[in-house]
Structure 1
């Protein structure tokens, strides 16, 4: 990885320009292209897409960017420093692999791969090549999610009991992946971040394929950690309204993160307190001698300085290329998300049976 004097020698100190190529300009691709093109420290030289219509869109709106239907053209260009993979999920592993083998830094959209062995291979390739590998888990660059993490770390919620998350919409129905692989990477990524990157020990899930055979449209999953924290995830692309909500319940306070609301974070001083009750001997030593009281205190709507998360994510990727630092959503995080997604899929395939999540680690940042 180029950094320090090597980096300045290649790009010119004080005038750093990282040359970027993007593969894919479909549903999410235009947002990536817009943000990369707006960065002063990079140049999007290439956009590769099979669709003539998508290439025409790029040519009309981004005249400094060349287009091609062939991703091979991109990897053969020695000027390209970094490749952005924004193609269907089933192609992520293949394209990220050939980009790393070509010596490029890689930002790959979620998920990193479709199984843990593929993710492990990409992690090993990035390490061997000394290249930055980052996954587009955009919500970890969301100021509201970062605020949740800060509150948890400071103990504002007390002991964390459980979390439940809903990601619902009457939205785009995919044929290449089910609703779990399409929508849940966001929720799994956030949960691992909040849980200090600790993997759950077990998962279970149930889903149904109403529209297309063997492609679940709705999934209900439960994740359990060693410290007894549980999380429930509901994802669906068949729901009547758009919901992007996560609720955290703790012993002291509760918290709601609502991504579609103007008030992204709501802190509720609510809970049930266990108050010791004096016994016949007027002592409080008997643990079982207590009363339960419902507590309902203040509701706080903290002010959060919000910036487009994708803008923050892309700036972070370019910074990590220059410094050699490990990205927040780097190899280990991306690989662990895949491991949880895969375990839940195994439970779906087994009609809801509990599946243990392997806890072995590999040597990755």
Structure 2
């Protein structure tokens, strides 16, 4: 069986570089082309990973006959157009989340993949991540769940978060990851409420808050802000009848009547596992780590949050 010949779009970004590494490490794939907007940077990454071709325009990589699979690691709003073109060209496609900006696009892309008999992989890696699994493995120890609180505030380094053009829908960009995590713990929500604040005064900043109501009066709350002049802060709390799990930037602790127990998170290999899974799907028909049903539902809920913030009211889901 011949190797999967991969072209990576967005190869010089943080995720793109990791995909370059993991596709290179896989014995069943090789990088034959890379694409990014900066000529010097994309040439360097091509040399580093032995890619035979490098491009400034993603259209040229998609048209490369030597490429049999495309990894899309560009900005959010570009995912749909690139993925559609690659599928139409008969390529297998791995797309960083979010795959699309609405469910109509999502369904269209999977329809094209089915018609072309190629793999479309929605790389929603949440359930494979080390922190999520550490929380999941200790979740029963806090008793009956009461609520969850996620909070992330970051500085201005990830500029695409605060620029509407590459970012796309703000709730999809900021909250799809957290929403999917809480669905895995609590099941499908009954309602959703959201607010959004964005400004360009004194530098671009954005903040979005989402609350979801689940069965048995369980509530999930998420705060996400980017562009603020401070060190990043990432906190998670799951409160239950018998205790709570608390993550604060790097450490995870379990608090119960017996005291405080440090929980080992372990190495996060989600993107590596996801890369290997995509290669196996394309070459041997392995099942995806994350079902398209999960990705589609996460987008639906992000759009419900958008509606809630726009209409300033709770939305039943």
Instruction: With the length of structure 1 as denominator, give the TM-score of the two structures.
Output: 0.76
Q: Which residue of 2 aligns with 1:107?
A: 94
The separation in 2 between residues aligned to 1:323 and 1:162, in whole angstroms, is 41
- Which of residues 98, 108, 114 in structure 2 aligns to 1:121? 108
Residue-pair matches, total: 308
Change (3 A) 1:65 1:58: farther
Give the 3-state SS of the residue equivalent to 2:148 in structure 1: strand
Once the 2 structures are TM-superposed, how far is the Cα of residue 163 of structure 1 from its aligned partner?
Answer: 0.8
Q: Which residue of 1 aligns with 2:11?
A: 25
The separation in 1 between residues aligned to 2:270 and 2:119, in whole angstroms, is 20
Tell whether 2:299 aligns with 1:338: yes
The separation in 1 between residues aligned to 2:246 and 2:217, in whole angstroms, is 20
Q: Which residue of 2 aligns with 1:360?
A: none
Change (3 A) 1:60 1:321: closer
Give the 3-state SS of the residue equivalent to 2:81 in structure 1: helix
Once the 2 structures are TM-superposed, how far is the Cα of residue 192 of structure 1 from its aligned partner?
Answer: 2.5
Tell whether 2:316 aligns with 1:356: yes
The separation in 1 between residues aligned to 2:238 and 2:306, in whole angstroms, is 24
Give the 3-state SS of the residue equivalent to 2:141 in structure 1: coil
Unaligned runs of 5+ in 1: 1-7, 12-16, 270-295, 358-365
Residues 244-303 of structure 1 deviation map (CA, whole Å, 9 limit, x = unaligned): 222111122311234x31x3x31111xxxxxxxxxxxxxxxxxxxxxxxxxx32222233
Instruction: With the length of structure 2 as denominator, give the TM-score of the two structures.
Output: 0.87
Residues 283-329 of structure 1 deviation map (CA, whole Å, 9 limit, x = unaligned): xxxxxxxxxxxxx3222223344244322221222233334233222
- Which of residues 263, 282, 293 in structure 2 aligns to 1:321? 282
Of 167-176 and 54-63, deviating more is 54-63
The separation in 1 between residues aligned to 2:102 and 2:205, in whole angstroms, is 18
Give the 3-state SS of the residue equivalent to 1:40 in structure 2: coil
Contact 2:151 2:222 in 1 (8 A): yes
Report the aligned-residue RMSD. Answer: 2.5
Contact 1:256 1:266 in 2 (8 A): yes
The separation in 1 between residues aligned to 2:49 and 2:280, in whole angstroms, is 23
- Which of residues 48, 69, 86 in structure 2 aligns to 1:82? 69
- Which of residues 161, 186, 204 in structure 1 aligns to 2:146? 161
Unaligned runs of 5+ in 2: none
- Which of residues 220, 223, 245 in structure 2 aligns to 1:231? 220
Once the 2 structures are TM-superposed, how far is the Cα of residue 79 of structure 1 from its aligned partner?
Answer: 4.0
Bigger Rg, structure 1 or 2? 1
Of 97-106 and 127-136, deviating more is 127-136
Contact 1:25 1:54 in 2 (8 A): no
The separation in 2 between residues aligned to 1:189 and 1:27, in whole angstroms, is 24
